[in-house]
Copies of this chain bind each other. A is one copy, B any other.
Amino acid sequence: MQSDRPSSSINRRVLISGMALLPALSGMPLGSTAQAQTTQDNTLASWNEGPAKQAILDFVKATTERASPSFVPPEERIATFDQDGTLWVEQPIYSQVIYCLDRVPAVVEKTPKLKSVEPFKTVLSGNREAIAKLSLHDLEKILAATLTGMSVEEFNAEAKKWLTAAKDARWKRLHTDLIYQPMLEVMQYLRANGFKTYIVTGGGQDFVRVYSERVYGVPVEQVVGTAGGTRFGYHKDGQPFLTKEPKLLLNDDKAGKPEGIHLMIGRRPYAAFGNSDGDRQMLEYTGTGDGARLMMLVLHDDAKREYAYGPAQGLPNSRVGTFTQALHDEAKKKSWTVISMKNDWRRIFPFDQNA
């Protein structure tokens, strides 16, 4: 969410501070996405043959075959995945920001005086152009108002309700349907080979936890995200509960990603997947370790099936997921693998059966 005009667009940094805010949901059943690949034939079925697929196969072979000089003991096998733009669609705007905007009417209903106060007034107007021009400071207010000040359970229930109802404008599908089938297959393949798969996202840790297990097969305790503090307190009947506070603990973007990995996991990953400048430090940190390491970046170069953006390939810039020329150069220099959606992915979404 970096832009040439930071004052009129949603900035990743700000978004993140606002997202420091959300709670967790336990006990969601494992969906079919959690099933491990068992046959070699079916491995990475949605990937075309090419250097990206080969890099994944080579890495798994190098780290899991006993005789390999770069064999990694199972307990050290950690793979981290950015979410927005790496596991699911981030255009035209992060799904969690839509959630926050959608929550504004409920917040105003609870606190009616906000009705005539900016930025809530503008959001309520429904004027898209005006909403798009909201300042960073305004967005911080919206994120704080919609993601904090309620119990963890209340937040979970609201987020869950929204996720099972709100539809994306282009595909008219749930946001959790707009996940990349090839990336699900990589996660499954790595898990089938003893890797623990973590999501390491600039998005809100508690928000992503609401659906991580069901959608990605990633348990809540393996979600690292931008995180806010909670406050332990008691209901009148003496029952304890946690309230989501507007206090940022972890800004899980850019340098915050390796910092968050250290805090929450405590091990350097062997594989890391991203798609933007926000993932650069995570890939650098991963690549600094000994032995075989896998660093991959998703390039959005498929306007027909998804989106095309990022200046590296002369594609239009974007308000989200900036894949800069500098990142492209670093990837080339350090032999990180760039995944071309257009060329490397036979199929984009699970619902896309035309592949």
Q: Establish whether residues A240 and B258, one from each chain, have CB atoms under 8 Å apart when the complex forms.
A: yes
Residue in A26, A76, A241, A266 whose Cβ sees the most chain B Cβ within 10 Å: A266
Of the candidates B205, B230, B266, the one whose C-beta lies within 8 Å of that of A223 is B266
Q: Establish whether residues A229 and B259, one from each chain, have CB atoms under 8 Å apart when the complex forms.
A: yes
Contacts of A23 in B (CB 8 A): 262
Q: Establish whether residues B239 and A288, one from each chain, have CB atoms under 8 Å apart when the complex forms.
A: yes
Contacts of A213 in B (CB 8 A): 75
Of the candidates B26, B240, B262, B264, the one whose C-beta lies within 8 Å of that of A264 is B264
A101 within 8 A of B: no
Of the candidates B26, B223, B285, the one whose C-beta lies within 8 Å of that of A76 is B26
Given A259-B242, A285-B232, CB of A26 within 8 Å of CB of B268: yes
A27 within 8 A of B: yes
Interface string of A23-52 (1 = CB under 8 A from B): 111110110000000000000000000000
Q: Establish whether residues A240 and B281, one from each chain, have CB atoms under 8 Å apart when the complex forms.
A: yes
Q: Establish whether residues A259 and B232, one from each chain, have CB atoms under 8 Å apart when the complex forms.
A: yes
Q: Establish whether residues B239 and A26, one from each chain, have CB atoms under 8 Å apart when the complex forms.
A: no
Of the candidates B205, B220, B249, the one whose C-beta lies within 8 Å of that of A250 is B249
| Band of interface residues on A | 35 or more
Contacts of A264 in B (CB 8 A): 221, 264
Please give the distance in Å from A266's CB to the nearest CB on chain B.
3
A332 within 8 A of B: no
A231 within 8 A of B: yes
Contacts of A281 in B (CB 8 A): 232, 240
Name A260-276 residues within 8 Å CB distance of B: 262-268
Contacts of A76 in B (CB 8 A): 26-27
A255 within 8 A of B: yes
Contacts of A239 in B (CB 8 A): 288
Q: How far is the CA of A196 from the CA of B196 in the complex (A)?
A: 14
Q: Establish whether residues A220 and B267, one from each chain, have CB atoms under 8 Å apart when the complex forms.
A: yes
A293 within 8 A of B: no
Q: How far is the CA of A75 from the CA of B75 in the complex (A)?
A: 18
Contacts of A26 in B (CB 8 A): 76, 266-268
Q: How far is the CA of A230 from the CA of B262 in the complex (A)?
A: 8
Q: Sample 5 A-B pairs with CB under 8 A, ordered by A number.
A: A26-B76, A230-B262, A232-B281, A232-B285, A249-B249
